[in-house]
Chains A and B, each alone.
Chain A
């Protein structure tokens, strides 16, 4: 029987070998794929056990922190947002049951301290608990508060303030906002509110007709491509027919033969319509793309929460390109099927303010590890050389006229030269506004001080019966003043 006993033992060795094989497969070889499974809630619960790093405003104000709950193996951390709805956008939320959004989602790996492969293996060997890193943002607490308060007075809308030279996002406010602390209690209510859409960051996902603010892009394309100079005059009648429909100035005012300064100051539609037609599709689209249109802004927010701006085919929800037939005269004045996010229009202002260089917008400033060491710092990087410095200077002069004597006087700050452009796009029948016939999308984009820009801002207000200068320019002024006063 001894031979059989030895053979039987060999068989049992094989059986146990199979167990080792399967255990290796699940625990090592297939482990990554298993962690990705929807049914696998373990990674979520485990993240909850990691003290997620704090998110701080530029001045050190705590935007988000993790509070311990329970003890031992049951110990977990729950996210708290001390400032409530102030930073609801663009910070978002992070809760095990409801997932994460916006900044919390984009910077998840840093916040839970998922470092390099090597250091995590060392940690594993030492059995050390993972600990998250803090992230300091560029957000200016006071300016954010001013922006949100102003927006709440005017209605729904968004404000984005960028530092032109670095792309640092100083303000990103969106109303309706939400208090992230409430997410675990009223998520379904927040998510299903189709009128106020509080979970939607309008600054990056709100697509609005930019109206006359887009004339800055048209003007930049005209100057930079050499199509016009600041002295070039174009005859601007009260109205002229484009594609079978009259394109009109406000009150059909006939300006006669004028140059860029006058045309921008008074936001003359017929002037810019003709400029657009002179530029042609290729040139205008080329400059739009240099300013960031037709692409998702390179901001540190989840890709699906950032929308590109451009001329949309509404039926297919896709962007049109230079080769597609468009009514160029109306694109040039920010109409047609052109849609832009407040972030995109802030990028336009920032590029002009920065001598024509568009910087990538970044919310984060630096990552600080649990020991207080800065482990990573935001490196300003150029998105594109949109226009030449000369063009930027010429355009700035024209934009100063808008604020000093034109359509955007409410943006003026005493003692500080301001460059800007208003915009009022008619949005009749907009269901989000209740379908009223007199609803406008009011805009103001600009920067200050015009001679040494410190801040570039886009303010956009939905569903207003007023004009850009009435509702958006004052927000620009308040936010810009707040930021400039701090310097």
Chain B
């Protein structure tokens, strides 16, 4: 199966070219001349990617050949955008990328038999939820824009939600693998609506409760939405009952509506979304300027490094949180609608490859894990892009791999590692004659 790895190697070439060209573009903007430093950066990046590729060649020779290049593309693109915003941030981000790849390699090394995760699913779930609570702990918790998203211990700051999302997906994949049969069989039709059996309704309520809890205590509408949507996606794939999804959605909406009217921070986010022009200088400033920046981009954008992030001559932000929340708006501003659609397409391709992994996988846990991980990745992209384009209220989740943020990049490479682990086994088994799959339970 070296042909898969050869395809991966080939796919990495455009990534390196993109990165080099991007840095060159930024350089020529900043310095009016083309330094060879951009080539150096491109070469470093290519070298790191090649090392990762060689590692994959040895450890997971059968894994999907496009996922790593696609994620590397997003990372490279993010690095260029961040470099264009602030050089020091880009250096940090590059370091996070390397750390992300180290954790990527460690994950692959230690979780070769990833079913072991199933055994610890409750530990993982509780650990993930506790992690979420950390930002509210005095001393280490950090409040950002009214939401409790960050933890800071000494020099290390991170956003636990990024890691919790993986923990939750692992838990849900395992739990639903085990209980999906009873959820389907035990379902009752009440008043024309198919309801899940009451006995198994409990865990569903727990997940719902967890996301409501996040809304209230973490005040993070974005993460809450992301988790719950991923949960519904998994529930649907596991049971095939669309009505469960509808019920879940209604429950979320009712809960969100209730808390939106009682929790000030959540309420404000919704108000700003509905009426941004009420206070254009204060609360509506970010979303309005996010949209104004897009209006300025047009079809082709203003070109790399041409967009305005701060009010010229001052430090006042014109596009607040350009390196994190509103980086997509900056992409539209500088690369236009075409560049932005390109980015969305890459996210869609990642999702497609992730789902392909799920389709190929033969056992329930692998399928659900692959679907869950791919979905949460896609939903996260949707939540933040939807936020800055006013499809939904703007919240503080990162644009996966493009936004500045160590936790995001590290967590997403761990996510990739899990996907590749599932993929490697699925493709190896697909290539081998069937036989030892009998123990894996029925494939849907």
Q: Does B15 contact A (CB under 8 A)?
A: no
In the bound complex, residues from chain B placing their C-beta under 8 Å from that of A22 are 386, 389-391
Count A-B pairs with CB separation below 8 Å.
161
B358 touches A5 (CB 8 A): yes
Main secondary structure of the interface of B (DSSP, over half): helix
Choose, from A9-17, A167-175, A415-423, the stretch at the interface: A9-17
B351 engages A23 (CB within 8 Å): no
A18 at the interface (CB under 8 A from B): yes
Residue-by-residue, is A183-206 near B (CB-CB < 8 Å gives 1, otherwise 0)? 000000000000000000000000
* Chain A 233-248 interface mask (CB, 8 Å, partner B; 1/0): 0000000000000000
Q: Which residues of A contact B340 (CB under 8 A)?
A: 20, 23, 27
- Select from chain A the residue with minimum beta-carbon distance to B354: A9
| Interface presence of B288 (CB below 8 A) | yes
A192 to chain B, nearest CB (A): 23
Q: Is A117 an interface residue (CB 8 A)?
A: no
Q: Flag if B312 contacts A4 (CB, 8 Å).
A: no
Q: Does B318 contact A (CB under 8 A)?
A: yes
B residues 172-188 touching A (CB-CB < 8 Å): none
**Least Cβ–Cβ distance between A314 and chain B, in angstroms:** 40
A5-B29 contact in complex given A31-B295, A73-B308, C-beta closer than 8 Å: no
Q: Among B296, B300, B359, B368, find the residue whose CB has the most chain A CB atoms closer than 10 A.
A: B296
Given the interface contacts A5-B359, A12-B348, does A127 sit within 8 Å of B306 by beta carbon?
yes
Q: Across the interface, do B299 and A4 meet the contact criterion of CB distance under 8 Å? A: no
Q: Find chain B residues with CB under 8 A from A18 CB.
A: 386, 391
B440 within 8 A of A: no
For the complex formed, measure the closest distance between the CB of A210 and the CB atoms of chain B, giving whole angstroms: 47
In the assembled complex, which residues on chain A have CB atoms less than 8 Å from the CB atom of B375? Answer: 8, 12
A48 on the interface (CB 8 Å rule)? yes
* Given contact pairs A19-B385, A23-B341, A42-B293, A1 touches B237 in the complex (Cβ within 8 A): yes
Q: Determine whether the beta carbon of B294 is less than 8 Å from that of A8.
A: no
CB of B211 within 8 Å of the partner chain: no
A39 touches B280 (CB 8 A): yes
Find out whether the CB atom of A72 lies under 8 angstroms from the CB atom of B351.
no
- Tell me whether B292 is interfacial, beta carbon within 8 Å: yes
Give the contact-size bracket for chain B.
35 or more
Is B223 an interface position by the 8 A CB rule? no
- B311 at interface, CB cutoff 8 A: yes
- Chain B residues lying within 8 Å of A41, measured Cβ to Cβ, are 311, 318
Chain A residue numbers with a CB within 8 Å of B295 are 26-27, 30-31, 34-35, 40, 42
Which residues of chain B are within 8 angstroms of A38 by Cβ–Cβ distance? 280
Residues of A within 8 A of B128 (CB): none
A8 pairs with B236, CB closer than 8 A = yes
Shortest CB distance B208–A (Å):
20
| Residues in B neighbouring A5, C-beta threshold 8 A | 237, 355, 358-359, 367, 371
Partner of B389, one of A19, A31, A125: A19
- Judged by a CB distance under 8 angstroms, whether A374 is at the interface is no
Complex CA gap A23/B389 in Å reads: 6
Interface pair B355/A19, CB less than 8 Å apart? no
Q: A26-B389, A76-B313 are in contact. Are A42 and B318 (CB under 8 A)?
A: yes
Q: Which of B30, B291, B303, B355 contacts A34 (CB 8 A)?
A: B291
Closest CB-CB distance, A28 to chain B, in whole Å?
A: 6
With A5-B371, A19-B344, A127-B306 already in contact, the answer to whether A45 and B386 are too (CB < 8 A) is: no
Chain A nearest Cβ from B23, distance in angstroms: 15
Among B29, B240, B284, B309, the residue within 8 A (CB) of A4 is B240
In the complex the two chains form, is B367's CB within 8 Å of A9's CB?
Answer: no
**Given A1-B364, A4-B236, A74-B312, A16 and B332 contact (CB-CB distance below 8 Å):** no
Contact, CB under 8 Å: B312 / A45: yes
Number of interface residues of A (CB under 8 A): 47
Write the chain A residue with the least CB distance to B235.
Answer: A4
Complex: A7 Cα to B389 Cα, angstroms: 25
Q: Mark A41-69, 1 if CB is under 8 A from B, else 0.
A: 11101101100000000000000000001
A74 to B313, Cβ gap below 8 A? yes
On whether the beta carbons of A4 and B237 are closer than 8 Å, the reply is yes
Residues of B within 8 A of A49 (CB): 308, 312
Cβ contact within 8 Å between A31 and B312: no
Pairwise interchain contact B236-A42, C-beta atoms closer than 8 A: no
Bound Cα distance from A127 to B297, whole angstroms:
12
CB pair B391–A19 under 8 Å, yes or no, is yes
For B308, the chain A residues whose CB sits under 8 A away are 42, 45-46, 49, 73
Q: Is the CB of A8 within 8 A of B233?
A: yes
| B298 lies within 8 A of chain A by Cβ | yes
A15 vs B281: C-alpha distance when bound (angstroms):
31
What residues of A have a CB within 8 angstroms of the CB of B348 in the complex?
A: 12-13, 16
- For residue A102, give the distance in angstroms from its CB to the closest CB of chain B: 24
Q: Is the CB of B444 within 8 A of A16?
A: no
Please tell me if the beta carbons of A8 and B237 are within 8 angstroms of each other in the complex: yes
Q: B residues within 8 A CB of A40?
A: 288, 292, 295
**Interchain CB contact under 8 A, B355 and A8:** yes
In the complex, A20 Cα to B386 Cα: how many Å? 10
Partner of B313, one of A1, A16, A30, A69: A69
- A66 shortest CB reach to chain B, Å: 13
* Across-interface contacts of A37 in B (CB, < 8 A): 277, 288, 292
Among residues of A, the one whose C-beta sits closest to the C-beta of B303 is A127
CA distance A236 to B272 in the complex (A): 77
B335 → chain A closest CB, angstroms: 10
**Cα distance, A31 to B214, chains bound together (Å):** 36
Report the minimal beta-carbon distance from A427 to chain B, rounded to whole angstroms: 45
* Bound CA span A169–B35, Å: 52
B114 in contact (CB, < 8 A): no
- Say yes or no: is B238 at the interface (Cβ < 8 Å to chain A): yes
Contact B299 A28 (CB under 8 A): yes
Most B CB contacts (10 A, CB to CB) among A2, A9, A24 go to A9
Of the listed residues A5, A28, A34, A75, the one surrounded by the most CB atoms of chain B closer than 10 A to its CB is A5
- Report yes or no: B344 in contact with A16, Cβ–Cβ below 8 A: yes
Report the bound CA distance from A163 to B349 in whole Å. 69
- Complex CA distance for A42 and B311, rounded to whole angstroms: 9
- A2 to B308 CA separation, bound complex (whole angstroms): 46
Q: How far is the CA of A43 from the CA of B308 in the complex (A)?
A: 10
Let me know if B259 is at the binding interface, CB within 8 A: no
14 A-B contacts (beta carbon < 8 Å) = A4-B237, A8-B355, A9-B352, A12-B348, A15-B382, A23-B389, A26-B291, A34-B292, A35-B292, A41-B311, A42-B292, A49-B308, A69-B313, A76-B312
Chain A residues within 8 Å of B, Cβ to Cβ: 1-9, 12-13, 15-16, 18-20, 22-24, 26-28, 30-31, 34-35, 37-43, 45-46, 48-49, 69-70, 72-76, 124-125, 127
Ranked 10 nearest A-B pairs via Cβ = A1-B444, A39-B280, A34-B295, A127-B303, A22-B389, A31-B295, A26-B294, A76-B312, A4-B237, A40-B292
Given contacts A13-B348, A16-B348, A39-B281, 20 further A-B contacts (CB under 8 A): A1-B240, A5-B359, A15-B382, A18-B391, A20-B341, A26-B295, A27-B297, A27-B299, A27-B340, A28-B337, A30-B295, A31-B296, A42-B296, A46-B308, A72-B305, A73-B307, A73-B312, A124-B298, A124-B300, A127-B302
